Homo-oligomer: A and B are copies of this chain.
Amino acid sequence: MLKAILSSVVVFMAMASSEAAIKTENVDYKEGKTALEGFVAYDDSVKTPRPAVLIIHQWMGLSDNEKMRAQMLAEKGYVAFAVDIYGKGVRPTSMEEAGKLAGQYKNDRKLYRARGQAAFDWLKKNKMVDAKHIVVIGYCFGGTGALELGRAGVPAAGFVSFHGGLSNPTPADAKNFKAPVLIAHGALDKGVNPEVMPFMREMDENKVDYQFVSYSGAVHAFTQKGAGNDPSKGVAYNEKADHRSWAHFMDFLSEVAPIKK
């Protein structure tokens, strides 16, 4: 009898958790007059406002990578919004094109901030979202964007860069960070390495709350499965660094924007 009741409890609990159906939708929104198209994932069974994660894409624009992360985060209970910096339909098809486009935003931080701000505002107004607990994250090019939103004083609950560029044309803006920062950095990322010391100096001087993690053996793009497996090319997937940085990101979320159970 006890066994029977206990196993029905287990079955019931399994049903309850499988009811946690993740919904995903494309999202049309705007920055000024520019049409943008993002992607949101959330657990439709949750009825109360909950923390959110804003995900900024790498240089190829919003891709399956960010959508996969949004899905993973929605399964953890977050509203996850994979945003669009480039504009609806603007999706580079070559690395050359991606480099050009990313460079445009890296050289116009004001525009980059505005695009990120528009996405942040969309999340903030969303009824599913606990607006005090929005964490901004980004990959490669998007890591730079996540930091740029912090430097713009956006009232997020945290900022995370995965193998993002750390350059900052306006170092004094580091004082505007309003929440903790997590940097997941590939120790062998040749492009970003020269930016590490100036970055840490500006963060220290402005007393920003940060954690900086270097993962050995990891080069640029270490969380991106599509980046191949040859670190000698300067970009490559690194499974260990991917899993470890994700675990560190989960610790960070538990601290700055925990899901209430």
Contacts and interface: CB of A to CB of B under 8 A. Distances in A.
Which of A5, A203, A216, A217 has the most CB atoms of chain B within a 10 A radius of its CB?
A: A216
Interface stretch (A53-61, A125-133, A158-166, A243-251): A243-251
Interface of A: 2, 5-6, 9, 187-188, 200, 203-204, 207-217, 240, 244, 247-248, 251, 254-255
Which of A207, A212, A215, A240 has the most CB atoms of chain B within a 10 A radius of its CB?
A: A212
B6 A240 contact: no
A254 B250 CA distance: 14
Contacts of A208: 216
Contacts of A254: 247
B244 A255 contact: yes
A217 B188 CA distance: 25
Contacts of A215: 211
Which of A6, A207, A247, A255 has the most CB atoms of chain B within a 10 A radius of its CB?
A: A247
A213 B211 contact: yes
A245 to B, nearest CB: 9
Given A188-B204, A211-B214, A251 B244 contact: yes
A213 B215 CA distance: 9
A5 B5 CA distance: 9
A251 B247 contact: yes
Contacts of A188: 204
A209 B213 CA distance: 13
B213 A213 contact: yes
A28 to B, nearest CB: 38
B207 A244 contact: no
Nearest to A213: B213
A123 B240 CA distance: 28
A20 B187 CA distance: 41
Nearest to A183: B214
A247 B254 CA distance: 11
